Structure 1
C-alpha cells in the first residue's frame, strides 16, 4: 500500500466516524474531508473544487428551485386537498402513497412530504383515523418514488455524475423507471399490509389538537398570585397532574441546584415536561402563566389567536440557532409555548435551546401570522388545516415548466443541468417565484455535502484505495458470481445509509462499485443502480432519511416502530434488487 492510499483510508475513516457520530452536521464533515484531501495533496485543487461545478451539484440546486415553484404556486396543496376528501382509511393510504411516489419521482421528496404531511394529519383526524397509521407510509412512499427517475433524488444525480467523471456511461432520465415502478408497487402493497398489522395505533387526537402525539417541554412563570409560592418542587404538582414532571427551576437566568427541595418564589420560571393538556391543567391549577417574551408584539396581536404546531424542516435556517438568537417572536409574530423533541432531555430555558431538525414548536399566534410560517420553507405547519389559495396561473406555469424540463432532458435536446437552469430562470421571469424565494429554496447543506464528498470519491479512485477495497470484496464473494457481488454492494450501501447521509454513503461506495466491475470485466451499470437504489431507500431508522425524521416527530413514533416496519421492507428491496437489477441492467458490457 502506498502512502497516498494510507492517507486516503485515514481521511475516509475519519469522515465515516464523524458521519456516524453525528457530532457535526454532514455538510461540515464533508468540508473537513475536502480540506484534508487538499492539504494532504491527495487531490489537485481542480479536483477538490470539481464538486462545486459538478452537474449533479448544480442540477440538485436547480431541482430545489423547481420544486419550490410547485410549492409556492399551491399546485401540491391542491393535490393534497383532493387526497384529504377520501373517507375510507385504506383508500386514503393507497392514494396517498401512489400520489406521493408519483410526485417524488420529479421533485424533491422532502418538499412533497412537507406539503402532504399536515394535510394527511388533518384528513385522518377529520375521519377519526389515527395519523400514526399513515405517516410512515407517507415517508417511505416519498423514498421509493424517488428512484423512478434520474431526477427523483439527489443521490441518483450524484451516482450518475460520479460514473460520468470516471469515464463510464451515465443514465438517461427514465432509465430507472421500469425497475423503480416495480419497487413502488411492491412497497405500496407491503405498506398496505404493514399499516394494518405493524404500525402502532396511537389514537385520534381531538379536533382542537393538531394531530401531533408526544410530550412537550414548556416554560411557566410563577406570578405573584400563584398558589405554587412557598411550596417545594417535590410537592408542587397536584396528584391529578398526569405525567407532568418538573425538570428545572430557574431563578434569574440560573437553574437552582436542587429543584425538588427548593421553595418556589415569585418570578421563578419552571421547566416542565408532559402532554399539553396535562401541562395546561397544572398551569391553571397553580395559577402559572407562560413567560411573555416580546411584549411589544401586543400591539400587533389583534383578532383571534390560535394554537399552531410547526415543525423545523430539514435544511431549515433555524437549525442550530436558538429562539432568542433569531428573535423568533418578532420574526413570525408568534410565541413559542412548548417544544417537543425525540430522544433528548431539555434542561435549558426554551429560548436558549439550539433548534434541531424535527423539533415541533407549539405556538401561540394570531391567524395572520400563520401565512408567514406557511411561506417559510424552514417550517412545516402541522396544526393548521387551512391552506393558502392556489394561484391557477402560477400553478399552470410551474407545472408546465417542470414538464418542459423533463421532456427536453428526456428527448436529448439538452442536458439535464442546462434544462433545469433554464427552468429556474423561467420561474423567476414569469413571477412564479421571486428571486429571494428561489435563493431560499435551495438547501445549501445538501449542495455543500455533495461538493465535499465528490472529491473523496476521486481520491479513492486516484490512490487505488477503491480498487483495493473492490479486490477485497471480490476475494470474499467473487467465487459465488457477480450476483453475490451485487448483493454485497447493495447491502454495504444500505448499512452505511442507515447510519449516515445517503449522499455520503453513495459517494463512498460508487468508486468501489466501479472498481469491482472493472476487476470482474463487467458493465458497471448494475452495480451503480444498486448503489443508487440502496442509498435512496432507507427505512429501518428514523434518522436514515430526512422524511423519516419529519414523520418521526409528527407521528409520535418510537425508534422501534421504524425498525419493525422498515427492516422487513429493506430485506424485501434487497431481495428484489438482487433478482431484478441483472434482468434490466445486464452484467455484460
Structure 2
C-alpha cells in the first residue's frame, strides 16, 4: 500500500472510533474527517468541499423542508387521528406499519415516526393496550418504507451521489421500489408475529400520569421540614423505595465528596434515579420538594397544572444545550421535574446536563404551555393530548406540493434536487411555511454530516485504499461467487450501521463496493443497492437509527428487547438481499 492509503486508513480508524464512542457529535466528527483529509493532502480543496455542493446534501435539506410542510399543514396528524380510531389491536398494528411505511417512502422517516409516536401512545393507552407492543414496530416500519424510493432516506441519496461521483449511472426515483415493496411485506409480516411473541408487555400506563415510562433522574430539594435532614446518604431512602438510588448530594451546586456517608443538610439537593412512582413515593415520605426558585412559573392554581412528557426530537435546537443555557423553564413556562435517558450516566444538576436526541423531560406545566410546546418542532409532547387543529386547505396544498415534486422527478422532467427546491419555494409562496420555519425544519447536523463524510469516500478511491480492500475481499470471499460477495458487503454495512452513523457507514463502504465489483468484472449496481438497503435498515440496537432511539426512550424498552426482535429480522433481510438483489439488479 501507498503512504496515502495508510494515512487514509488512519483517518478512517479515528473517525470510526469517534463515531462509535460518541465522544463528539457526529457532525463534528465529519468536519474533523474533512479537515484531516484536506490537511494531509489526501483530497484536493474542491474535493474536500464537494459535499456541500453535492445534490445529495441539497436534496436532503430540501426534503426536511417538504416534510415540515406536511407536518405543519396537518395532513400527517389527520392520518394519525384516523388511525387512532381503530380499536382492534392486530388491525391497528397492521394499519400503523403500512401507513408509516408508505409515508416514509416520500418524506423523512424520522419525521413520520415523530408525528405518529405521540398519537400511537395516546391511542394504545385509550384502548387499554401496552404501547410497548407497538412502538418498535412503528420504528421498524419507518425503515421498511425508507428503502422503497431514492428520497426515502438520506442514505439512499448519499449512495446515489457517491456512485455518480465515481462515474456510475446512479439510481432513478423508484428504482428501489419493486424490491423495496417485498422487503416491506416481509418486514410487516414478521413484525405482526414478533409483536405478539417477542415484544415485551410493559403494561398500560395510567392516563392521568401520561405514562412516565422508564427510569428518571430527578433533582429534589431538602427543606427545613424534611425528615431526611441529619441522615447519611446510605440511610436516606425508606425500605420500600424500590430501585431508587441516591446518585449525588449537591451543596451549594457542588457535589459532596462522599454522598453515602455525608449527612444531609437543609438546602442540599439530592440527585435520585429510579422508576417515577418509586421516586414520587420516596419524595413524599421524606418531605422533599422540587426546586421552586422561579415562583413566577407557578402560574395559576394547582388544579390548572398538568404532568406531561416532552421528548427532544431529532434535529432539535436543544441538542447539546443545557436547560440553564436556553432558560428552558422561562422560555416554555414549565418546570422540569425529571429527565429520562437510555444512558443514565448523569452525575450533575439537571439544568447542567447537555440534552440529547430521545431525552424525555418530565414537566409540570399549565395546558397553555403544552400547547405552545406542541408547535415547537424540536420537542414532541407525549401522552394523550388533543392535537392542534389545522386547515384542510393547507393540508391539501402541502400534499399537492409533495405529489408534484415526486411526479416531476419520477417522470424525469427535472432531477430530484431541482424539483425538491421548487417544492420548498412553493411551500413558502403558498404560505404553508414561513421562511424562518423552513430554515428551522432543516436538520443541519445531518446536512453537515453528509457534507463531511462524502470526501471520505473520495479519499478511499484516490489513495488506492478501496482497491486494496477489494483485492483482499475478493481473495477471501470472491471464490464463493458474486452472491456471497454481495452478502458480505451487505453484512459489513449492516454491522457498521449498528455501531455508527448510517450515512458514515455508507460513505465508508460504497467505494469498497465499487472497487470490489470492478475487481470481479461485475456491474457495481447490485453492490450499491446492498449498501443502501443495509445502511437504511438498523434493527439490532436502539442507537443504530434515530427512530429506534426515539421509541426506545418513549416505550421504556431494554437494550435486549431490540436484540431479541431485531437480530432475526437482520438475518431475514440479509438472506432476502442475497436472493432478491441479483434478480432485480443483475450482475
Give the alignment's TM-score, normalised by structure 2: 0.98
**Corresponding residue SS for 2:151:** coil
1:504, CA displacement in angstroms?
A: 0.5
Report the counterpart of residue 420 of structure 1 in structure 2: 420
1:345, CA displacement in angstroms?
A: 2.6
Task: Tell me if 1:17 matches 2:17.
Answer: yes
Partner Cα separation in structure 1 for residue 441 and residue 325 of structure 2: 22
Partner Cα separation in structure 1 for residue 273 and residue 248 of structure 2: 10
Preserved CA contact (<8 Å) 1:427 1:433: yes
Report the counterpart of residue 568 of structure 2 in structure 1: 568
Report the counterpart of residue 227 of structure 2 in structure 1: 227
Preserved CA contact (<8 Å) 2:494 2:538: yes
Report the counterpart of residue 306 of structure 1 in structure 2: 306
Alpha-carbon displacement from aligned partner over 1:321-345 (angstroms, at most 9, x marks no partner): 2111111111111110011112333
**Corresponding residue SS for 2:259:** coil
Alignment of 1:131-142 (within 5 A): 131-142=131-142
Alpha-carbon displacement from aligned partner over 1:376-423 (angstroms, at most 9, x marks no partner): 222111124211102211111111000000000000111100000010
Task: Tell me if 1:543 matches 2:543.
Answer: yes
Gaps of 5+ in 1: none
Report the counterpart of residue 381 of structure 1 in structure 2: 381
Report the counterpart of residue 407 of structure 1 in structure 2: 407
1:506, CA displacement in angstroms?
A: 0.5
**Corresponding residue SS for 2:246:** strand
Preserved CA contact (<8 Å) 1:223 1:267: yes
Report the counterpart of residue 507 of structure 1 in structure 2: 507
1:300, CA displacement in angstroms?
A: 7.7
- CA gap 1:302/1:127 in 2 versus in 1, 3 angstroms: closer
Preserved CA contact (<8 Å) 2:145 2:184: yes
Report the counterpart of residue 112 of structure 1 in structure 2: 112
Report the counterpart of residue 468 of structure 1 in structure 2: 468
Preserved CA contact (<8 Å) 1:131 1:211: no
- Comparing 373-382 and 445-454, the one that deviates more: 373-382
1:516, CA displacement in angstroms?
A: 1.4
Report the counterpart of residue 459 of structure 2 in structure 1: 459
1:373, CA displacement in angstroms?
A: 1.6
1:477, CA displacement in angstroms?
A: 1.3
Preserved CA contact (<8 Å) 1:293 1:329: no
Alpha-carbon displacement from aligned partner over 1:533-577 (angstroms, at most 9, x marks no partner): 000001001111000011111111111111110010000000001
Report the counterpart of residue 586 of structure 2 in structure 1: 586
Report the counterpart of residue 317 of structure 2 in structure 1: 317
Preserved CA contact (<8 Å) 1:308 1:383: yes
Report the counterpart of residue 68 of structure 1 in structure 2: 68
Report the counterpart of residue 491 of structure 1 in structure 2: 491
**Corresponding residue SS for 1:310:** strand
- CA RMSD, Structure 1 to Structure 2 (Å): 1.4
Preserved CA contact (<8 Å) 1:293 1:335: no
- Comparing 125-134 and 58-67, the one that deviates more: 125-134
Preserved CA contact (<8 Å) 1:308 1:384: no
1:467, CA displacement in angstroms?
A: 1.2
Alignment of 1:114-513 (within 5 A): 114-298=114-298, 304-513=304-513
Structure 1 ranges of 4+ moved more than 6 A: 300-303
1:45, CA displacement in angstroms?
A: 0.7
Preserved CA contact (<8 Å) 1:312 1:379: yes
1:275, CA displacement in angstroms?
A: 1.8
Alpha-carbon displacement from aligned partner over 1:171-202 (angstroms, at most 9, x marks no partner): 11011000000000000000011111111111
**Corresponding residue SS for 2:308:** strand
Alpha-carbon displacement from aligned partner over 1:1-32 (angstroms, at most 9, x marks no partner): 22222221221222122212221111111111
- The count of residues paired between Structure 1 and Structure 2 equals 587
1:224, CA displacement in angstroms?
A: 2.2
Partner Cα separation in structure 2 for residue 22 and residue 241 of structure 1: 34
Give the alignment's TM-score, normalised by structure 1: 0.97
Partner Cα separation in structure 2 for residue 246 and residue 385 of structure 1: 33
